[in-house]
Amino acid sequence: MIQGLLGIEDLPREEIEAILDRAKDFQPVGDGSFAQFDRLRGKTVVLLFLEPSTRTRTSFEIATRRLGGDAILISGAGSSLSKGESLVDTLNTLAAMRPDAIVMRHKASGAPHFLARHLRTPIINAGDGTHEHPTQALLDARTILDRKRSLEGLRVAIIGDIEHSRVARSNVYLLSKFGVDIVLCGPAPLVPPELAGIAPGVSIEYDMRKAIRGCDVIMMLRVQLERQHEPDFPRGEYFSFYGLAPEHIELARPDVLVMHPGPINRGREISSEVADSQRSVILNQVENGVAVRMAVLERVLG
């Protein structure tokens, strides 16, 4: 059992392995049905989403229900935050109703960590600003392991807006704990050289073709325009330098996996031909989101 889940950086490798192993039990069986689990019967999970989300929010809700628990969804616009209530007061109010856990997405990096110090209710980070998105990295690892024997020794290229990506950070922390060779690639303003120092095994490459050559996994990232202060971002030009097209796939290993956390912007960071190709596991990532979040909820709530 763990007290909440705030990030991957401080999560021991054994905990990660335990979550990934348990998630297999929550994947659909051969005929597409699910084994029945009741581990959250009588438990209530509050889903506090103060930034937009489709995949994370829905999969946490399904995960809670599939385990027999109750999920209560709160969004920013429909809550008293829109009437001026502070985040601390909102969280204290929610905690006073004694939910068993709070799943939280917030635009400020570190918001869940700050609140976790003040609340006894376990907090699961569903994405905080540009900092971490731990359950995304866990579901990405589960998706890779469904197709590769192990993570050790793989070469993974993470391409796009690394600077603003919580998905990239959590993936780097996770993959680095398992001896993966990680290449970060994107335009220089979005991939500052100091990112090479955030974890062992990380290198930087600004040439997308070199980054992809010999890769086992290509993870594409969305350009996070909402976190940039660049009104003149060259959207059209971006694809010609850092958009994933069929010709890139031939540079990678023949069994390369193409991943993207979503939402994807077709024609900006990835072509439709690649996103919908046999090499793409984007919808498998979404499917594993439910299984992995079930494993996380079970581990946090016991």
Q: Where does this chain bind ligand CP (CB under 6 A)? A: 53-57, 127, 136, 261-263
Q: For ligand CP, which is the closer residue by CB, 7 or 204?
A: 7
Min CB(53)–ligand CP separation in Å:
3
Min CB(229)–ligand CP separation in Å:
21
The label of the residue with tokens 């929010």 reads 57
DSSP string, 96-145: HT--SEEEEEESSTTHHHHHHTT-SS-EEEEEETTTB-HHHHHHHHHHHH
18 to 35, 143, 186, 295: CA distances (angstroms): 19, 15, 33, 9
Residues 6+ apart with CB under 8 A from 243: 267, 268, 269, 270, 271
Residues 222/264, Cβ–Cβ less than 8 Å: yes
Min CB(166)–ligand CP separation in Å:
9
Give the whole-angstrom CA distance, residue 46 versus residue 90. 12
Backbone angles phi, psi at 252, to 5 degrees: -85, 180
User: Which of 253, 254, 257, 249 minimizes the C-alpha distance to 288?
Assistant: 257
Q: For ligand CP, which is the closer residue by CB, 49 or 178?
A: 49
CB atoms within 10 A of CB 152: 9
Min CB(226)–ligand CP separation in Å:
11
21 to 1, 35, 48, 61: CA distances (angstroms): 14, 15, 27, 21
Q: For ligand CP, which is the closer residue by CB, 54 or 80?
A: 54
Q: For ligand CP, which is the closer residue by CB, 205 or 287?
A: 287
153: amino acid identity, one letter: G
Give the whole-angstrom CA distance, residue 185 versus residue 187. 7
Q: For ligand CP, which is the closer residue by CB, 107 or 299?
A: 107
Give the whole-angstrom CA distance, residue 142 versus residue 145. 5
Min CB(141)–ligand CP separation in Å:
14
Q: For ligand CP, which is the closer residue by CB, 23 or 204?
A: 23
Q: Quick one: tokens of 44?
A: 């209530």
Min CB(167)–ligand CP separation in Å:
7
Identify the three-state secondary structure at position 182. strand
Adjacent-strand bridge partners of 181: 155
Q: For ligand CP, which is the closer residue by CB, 85 or 226?
A: 226
Residues 167/187, Cβ–Cβ less than 8 Å: no
Q: For ligand CP, which is the closer residue by CB, 68 or 76?
A: 76
Min CB(222)–ligand CP separation in Å:
9
